[in-house]
Structure 1
Amino acid sequence: MSKIDEISVDMIESDLRYLKLLSQKFPTISDACTEIINLEAILNLPKGTEHFLTDIHGEYEAFDHVLKNASGVIKRKVNDIFGNTLRESEKKDLCTLIYYPEQKLELALAKEDDVNDWYRITLHQLIQICRNVSSKYTRSKVRKALPADFAYIIEELLHESQVRPNKHDYFNGIINTIVSIGRANEFIIAICNVIQRLTIDRLHIIGDIYDRGPGAHIIMDTIMKYHAVDIQWGNHDILWMGAAAGNESCIANVIRICTRYANLETLEEGYGINLLPLATFAMEVYQDDPCKSFKPKTGPDDVYKEKDLKLMAQMHKAISIIQFKLESEIIKRRPDFALNHRQLLDKINFENGTIMVDGKEYKLNDTHFPTVDPKNPYRLTDEEKELVTKLKFSFLNSEKLQKHVRCLFSKGSLYLKYNSNLLYHACISLDKNGNFKKIKLIDKEYSGREYIDRAERLAREAYFNKGNHANKQYALDYLWYLWCGADSPLFGKSKMATFERYFINEKETHKEIKNPYYDFWDKEEICDMILKDFGLSPETSHIINGHVPVKTLKGESPIKANGKLLVIDGGFSKAYQPETGIAGYTLIYNSYGLQLVQHEPFESTQQAIEEGKDILSTTFILERTADRMRVRDTDIGKELIAQIADLQNLLMSYRKGIIKELK
């Protein structure tokens, strides 16, 4: 008996309304049968390759290159396909051409005596690679990835075998014609882009696109155009989301971090934020202040004039003091955030130049506070109020920033369950015994997944609810809490010691105690508890984390709890690379299992193009499946199986006369 014969009339009639709607798309028995056959075939294809990246922190050149070389996958495919038939220098040039076709073409053609011969050889090589990377997909999916101008030609070349004698001349004829009519450059660029597109089926970004590096806005432009991507928000992302929503404390924090890392171009050039009012204010108020603690952090390749560094330091200090005042407003307004200990301006003894922190007195390394009234230290001056108003207007009216933040909301979330993996940026709050911590939001206690779900709803309400009522204000304040609160799933530390790092030399005050989650994340039973709470099977699932850089120099491992939890923050940000000793990880999940790719620092796009300098990457096999994973083993596979079941019901309803064919 077939599966269809087993379907009862009662099952069909209970779902008749839906089946009638489905019949409009598949109006005949033939249409329904064809779709069932097609979906069953797709279920048996190898699963697509997923790439996981985290904590990119504005390093757009390294990010772009990792996407272009698919974390070293394209290089390995070139080696597999051409082995010893090409010299190493030729394989390197071929890889660089795939990564940067427009730029590399110009350099390659300038060296060739017989350009047409080079075109023909290169086109044959690229088609071989493209055929390899497209082999795991349906023709329909490949067709959708092809550029309109060359879709038909590329499809013919990919699916026609040269080994058949009657097709050999046909194949070569297409190549020769492309060259003879002067379309070889455009065709090469198109097929290189297709190779890049098909090598990564889906991209997961586990948070922190923003801050430190110079090109978060460029990364967001790439993400907005990317074919399949999701984002799990990091605390730095939520900070920019809060700024775009109009939270003044978030705005001050965003500007402070940009001045701290000499990264004003993201604000000014990337988003059109007018910083002139801040610069004018800072020069007037801090003109005689050396602002030593506020000197920007610059890289070895950064070149700034001394006067520019001085101005950035003044702007840095000015916005930091404003930030402390603005944050105090939220802390006073929200006692349930339990952040009263972060109000430190009122703990300063202005006569002695000291401050009380956690019951201990410390000497301040900077006692120049021209805008702080000792009697009312959190009151903004009139000039500061005017400045905040101007900055807020600029953030709210930055068209590009608002577009990027809407993308973060539409493609992002606090966590994601995808193909049996649980993805989130930082942590799930635990108590000291390793149980889910109960956290009060508004008037109710939450814990575990329930708390994360409620937090995400608040984040969305803060941005999309345009009213001015109390719920909107609470949600807006909570966006700032997600940035720096002790029980924020995006932060997970006792405090953000910003004031202490600037004004107190003693390192003991700088310490930020991590949530107990980080004491327990190497224990399998804790990971099992978390996975179960999110509805996943501990036997087949993993937790994938970012946020905390893995210090490989100190022997730390990204693999926790016997492989159940993977920490893939390896230091994409140049600011962290001295700590980590590497320049980031990519986790790759393909049909054979899990691989962790460890990257060395990326020098520059220019060197990659001109000298063929690829990122040096080392691959570690974490898990390898005995049987190759198929689409049926994925979340998409589950959806397709459900669609097949619906189509089988439709087919039976046609055959039993319950629904009539429409054609």
Structure 2
Amino acid sequence: MSNSQTKYLQLLASHYPTPAQTITEIINLEAILNLPKGTEHFLSDLHGEYDAFEQVFRNGSGVIKRKLSVLFANELSETELTTLATLIYYPRPKMRIILRTFSATEKNDWYRITLLRLIKLTSFVSSKYTRSKVRKLMSPDFTYIIEELLYQNNDQIEKEAYYHEILTSVIELNSAADLIHALATLIRRLVVDHLHIVGDVFDRGPAPDKIINRLTKHQSLDFQWGNHDMIWMGAASGSAVCIANVLRISARYLNLDTVEDSYGISLRPLAIFADTTYENTSTAFMPKKSQESAKTTSEINQIARMHKAIAIIQFKLEGAIIQRHPEFNMTDRLLLNKINYTNGTITVNNHTYTLTDTDFPTIDPANPYTLTPEENDVIERLLLGFINSAKLQEHVAFLYAKGSMYLRYNGNLIYHGCIPLNEDGSFKALTIANKPYTGRALFDKFDQYARQAFSQPEGSKEKEAALDYVWYLWTGETSPLFGKTAMTTFERYFIAEAETHHEVKNPYYLKRNDEETVATILREFNLSPDDGHIINGHTPVKEGAGESPIKANGKLLVIDGGFSKAYQSVTSIAGYTLIYNAYGLQLVKHQPFTSTEDAIMNETDIISTRRIIETETIRQCVKDTDIGQHLQQQINDLKSLLTAYRQGLIK
């Protein structure tokens, strides 16, 4: 053996110090390779809609209900199955509703029956895992009890009294409700082995922070960044222009409470500045009022003023970035210098339009992209708020730890937006530091910049450059997270003519229907076109207009179908999710969610329709997955260690 091999095996020997222990681990790992593949659950474009996310997250896109139907098909009615499923989704509140009219005897009987059913279901869904893995997912408070009940041998008549007494003691000691909660949690953890979030937790909806709080507690997940996530990541990293974008969108969708209440960032400097600077605003800046909003008219008007104030600041900051980065090729987005401030018009693409709003008290026509001292003071205060928000910093650190621009997982390629393409289907290039980047190399470069923006020292040149590229990821033509020629935000606010609002999509969105294009992309990322698939989100699937989420004969799947209520009038549904288990791929379509209270009280689960995309002829095992490859390498290393032991090379 070489010195490096000897050192490696000596380190390995510290974990497996005897031949017997080494053999045991080899046998254990080889057995694991032959267990069924765990279930993967894909969700995308959650956009702050916590309640709908929580329901789909808890029911595993209908997996739990299907397991119950298989196991209790001849024992329980449909009503009883639905009640049991709701109990597993929301154990504590559902128990309170079920038991509120029961007598003490009726409660005890219900506890015993329910515990037996949950134990039976837990045994069913845990059968494809090792005892060690199941144990790690259990509540520490009930590990002993659950293991005893879970692995009881029904043939051992001598232990019937033993198992009966366990349940009796649990009930008599008033611990039955806690055990039911522990079993329900364990079942939810077992039915989904790994969770993929394909971008865009932030914006539109009111509670992205709650979604991230939930995700931080999940046992196994990854995250592919979306464009809306990226501007929040940039804002938390110290990008003034990203902060302006975050606040503008939050004002537009009445979500400033997320910034102030959830993340503790004071917006008072912006509110005071807006109130003293913009007395009146056009209707374009009135926020999109949701049915749930309880804002007063005066509050709405103040938010509209804040909306306009931060939008103007955003346009100025963006202009400065465009001017110092000619490689972005975005000079057509420099619009403030194209305004005729005397006539109230603007010239765009050789056409002159009358502005719908001509109140620009903070813009100097001679230097339109320069912030006033008051604007600069506002943005500096906001910057401190975002950088010093402990909760936001914690959430964004989680996104960096679990996230990436793309992921190759079990033969599939996962990314949020698109692969920038030219009209002929070739990969579109972006020149960075005199070097063109395309395809996978472009993704890797952007991934590097995104991480540098968060990790480089404050004020360093590396950080400032990286922050500019984070903003480009939000809005640039060759950004894989954006995928359009331009973001026409200014035009939508200030020009009535709809022709100026059009945003041309990258050719990818037409080419992704072509199997050869998808095959080319998979090969670019060193994946098999025969076995691999692409999963992405970003663009709502307009099912009402006949659009299908299944592209390229099933090789590419779009799972953004409208979780966000803001999109549901266009999509006609409330989102797609994807299940990938040992038997193949299943696309799940969801109807709009009412409320968590309705789901608990009236057992109104999200109506979901399952569609089989691809079925495996042979049930996939762990050995067919990425984890299986890692385990096989560990087995090979352990066999080398065993050989070294037997040959006397290692003590």
TM tier relative to shorter chain: over 0.9
For the pair 1:91 / 2:78, whether they are aligned, the reply is no
Q: What is residue 162 of structure 2 aligned with on the other side?
A: 170
Q: What is residue 184 of structure 1 aligned with on the other side?
A: 176
For the pair 1:563 / 2:551, whether they are aligned, the reply is no
Q: What is residue 116 of structure 1 aligned with on the other side?
A: 108
Whether the aligned pair in 2 keeps the contact of 1:283 and 1:311 (CA below 8 Å) is yes
Q: What is residue 464 of structure 2 aligned with on the other side?
A: 473
CA–CA distance in 2 between the matches of 1:377 and 1:300? 38
Q: What is residue 5 of structure 1 aligned with on the other side?
A: none
For the pair 1:432 / 2:426, whether they are aligned, the reply is no
Which segment drifts farther, 522-531 or 299-308?
A: 299-308
Gaps of 5+ in 2: none
Q: By how many angstroms is 1:161 displaced?
A: 3.3
Deviations 1:550-582 (A, max 9, x none): 100011111111111111101111111111111
* 1:373 paired residue among 364, 381, 401: 364
Q: What is residue 28 of structure 1 aligned with on the other side?
A: 18
Whether the aligned pair in 1 keeps the contact of 2:537 and 2:558 (CA below 8 Å) is yes
Q: By how many angstroms is 1:470 displaced?
A: 2.7
SS at match of 1:131: helix
Q: What is residue 382 of structure 2 aligned with on the other side?
A: 391
The within-5 A match list for 1:37-436 is 37-113=27-103, 114-287=106-279, 289-436=280-427
Whether the aligned pair in 2 keeps the contact of 1:93 and 1:612 (CA below 8 Å) is yes
Gaps of 5+ in 1: 1-9
Which segment drifts farther, 458-467 or 419-428?
A: 458-467
SS at match of 2:100: helix
Amino acid corresponding to residue 267 of structure 1 in structure 2:
V
Whether the aligned pair in 1 keeps the contact of 2:429 and 2:478 (CA below 8 Å) is no
Q: By how many angstroms is 1:88 displaced?
A: 2.4
Amino acid corresponding to residue 469 of structure 1 in structure 2:
S
Runs of 4+ in structure 1 deviating by more than 6 angstroms, as ranges, are: none
For the pair 1:15 / 2:5, whether they are aligned, the reply is yes
Aligned pair count reads 649
Whether the aligned pair in 1 keeps the contact of 2:456 and 2:462 (CA below 8 Å) is no
* TM-score normalized by the length of structure 2: 0.98
Whether the aligned pair in 2 keeps the contact of 1:162 and 1:171 (CA below 8 Å) is no
* 1:586 paired residue among 577, 582, 588: 577
Whether the aligned pair in 2 keeps the contact of 1:552 and 1:581 (CA below 8 Å) is yes
Q: What is residue 6 of structure 1 aligned with on the other side?
A: none
CA–CA distance in 2 between the matches of 1:616 and 1:122? 25
SS at match of 1:395: helix
CA–CA distance in 1 between the matches of 2:153 and 2:602? 35
SS at match of 2:565: coil
Deviations 1:92-135 (A, max 9, x none): 22111111111111111103231111111111111111111111
Whether the aligned pair in 1 keeps the contact of 2:36 and 2:622 (CA below 8 Å) is yes
Whether the aligned pair in 2 keeps the contact of 1:542 and 1:565 (CA below 8 Å) is yes
Q: By how many angstroms is 1:299 displaced?
A: 2.0
* 1:532 paired residue among 496, 500, 523: 523
Deviations 1:596-630 (A, max 9, x none): 01011111111111111111100000011111000
Deviations 1:505-544 (A, max 9, x none): 1111111111111121111111111111111111110011
Which segment drifts farther, 328-337 or 12-21?
A: 12-21
Which segment drifts farther, 290-299 or 384-393?
A: 290-299
Whether the aligned pair in 2 keeps the contact of 1:126 and 1:191 (CA below 8 Å) is yes
Which segment drifts farther, 256-265 or 463-472?
A: 463-472
Q: By how many angstroms is 1:196 displaced?
A: 1.0
Amino acid corresponding to residue 100 of structure 1 in structure 2:
Y
Which segment drifts farther, 75-84 or 341-350?
A: 75-84
Amino acid corresponding to residue 110 of structure 1 in structure 2:
R
CA–CA distance in 2 between the matches of 1:284 and 1:590? 58
Whether the aligned pair in 2 keeps the contact of 1:546 and 1:567 (CA below 8 Å) is yes
SS at match of 2:620: coil
CA–CA distance in 2 between the matches of 1:439 and 1:503? 30
Q: By how many angstroms is 1:197 displaced?
A: 1.1
Which segment drifts farther, 258-267 or 78-87?
A: 78-87
Deviations 1:44-93 (A, max 9, x none): 10011000000000001111111111111111111111124222222222
The within-5 A match list for 1:547-626 is 547-626=538-617
CA–CA distance in 1 between the matches of 2:184 and 2:485? 48
Whether the aligned pair in 1 keeps the contact of 2:281 and 2:308 (CA below 8 Å) is no
Deviations 1:437-457 (A, max 9, x none): 222012211111011111111
Q: What is residue 515 of structure 1 aligned with on the other side?
A: 506
Deviations 1:270-289 (A, max 9, x none): 101101111111111122x1
CA–CA distance in 2 between the matches of 1:604 and 1:162? 41
CA–CA distance in 1 between the matches of 2:458 and 2:286? 40
**Identical counterparts, % of pairs:** 54
Amino acid corresponding to residue 254 of structure 1 in structure 2:
V
Deviations 1:128-166 (A, max 9, x none): 111111111100000000111100110111111335433
SS at match of 1:69: helix
CA–CA distance in 2 between the matches of 1:175 and 1:371? 72
Amino acid corresponding to residue 35 of structure 1 in structure 2:
E
Q: By how many angstroms is 1:481 displaced?
A: 0.5
Q: By how many angstroms is 1:13 displaced?
A: 7.8
* TM-score normalized by the length of structure 1: 0.96
Whether the aligned pair in 2 keeps the contact of 1:291 and 1:314 (CA below 8 Å) is no
What is the root-mean-square deviation in Å for CA atoms of aligned residues? 1.3
